[in-house]
Amino acid sequence: MADDERNSLVVHAPRSRAEVGDVNLAIGPLRRLVETARARLAEIEANYTGDRRAVEATQAKLFNLVKQHYQERDRLRLIIRDRRKYLRVLLAGREHEAVHTAGKHKRTTTETASNHERRASAAEYRKELGDEAERELRKLWKQLILLYHPDRHAGEADTIDTYVKLVSTINRAKEERDIGRLREIYNDPGGFVLRQGWTWLDFSDADEIASLTKLLGTLHAEIVNKLRALNGLHGSPLYELHQLSNGRPGLLDEAAAGVAKAVSAEITQLAAEAEKLESEISERRSPNL
């Protein structure tokens, strides 16, 4: 007889009153520890989210104050890149490629200006994601909505409120481009629900002790990770700028002036290089081009 067949025939003896009492005594303290840890995690997450959004808003304001300098710098970088390419084409005697190179430069310059506008908007309202991450975000959102939409669980009166809250969280994560939150829900939906304190699973006493013990360990690990993230955020120059600018309204303008000065110096160097390249191109370019 196979081991799993033997195990299926085992009849477990009922627990004694002492064993049941021990289980009940263990559940109460565990529940309180979990609630304390959950409240602490929620507090840290709220602080982190609020501070992160404040930093992102400060970053967006600073970017918008020096946006024109960044645009001019990037425009010159593109010009230099394309002129170097153009010069290589001329030196190689492939003048027929010059027209194509010039046309590509015009398109790239237009796209760069558009990218700056999108960047400014995205920095103010939500995270920017790469193409691959954007596809993953949409895929995760779609799968989670299909799994947990309240309409699929309309007959589950005890837990329907949890599905409503869960889908609301999923939709908010999609809007805020919070792919980390969507991954967290997708990888461990039960653990996520438990960490929020929502009703979902009905455990027996023994199962609940095991689940609560595991959950407590998970909560403590997340508290440590979130505290590290919060400390890292608080140690960043942008957070310091955000904090200082709250007490000194003109500080952000001063910081922007400093950034603009540094970028302007780079612009001067780039403009000189672009002019030098143009002179070299003019010396070698055919009069017909």
pLDDT at 189: 82
pTM flag (> 0.75): no
Question: Which has more pLDDT, 10 or 31?
Answer: 31
- pLDDT one-digit tens code per residue, 134-161: 889 989 998 888 888 877 766 666 677 8
- pLDDT one-digit tens code per residue, 58-77: 989 999 999 999 999 999 99
Output the DSSP codes for 176-201. TT-HHHHHHHHH-HHHHHHHHT----
- pLDDT one-digit tens code per residue, 168-219: 899 889 888 888 899 988 888 877 887 787 876 444 556 667 777 877 887 8
Could you tell me where the DSSP H helices lie in the chain?
Answer: 3-9, 17-65, 67-91, 98-125, 131-148, 160-175, 179-187, 189-196, 205-234, 237-247, 251-284
Please report which confidence band the pLDDT of residue 271 belongs to, taking 50, 70 and 90 as the band edges.
very high
Nearest one of 76, 75, 80 to 113, comparing CA atoms:
75
- pLDDT one-digit tens code per residue, 127-139: 556 778 888 998 9
Residue 287 above 50 pLDDT? yes
Sign of the Cα torsion 84, 89, 90, 92 reads positive
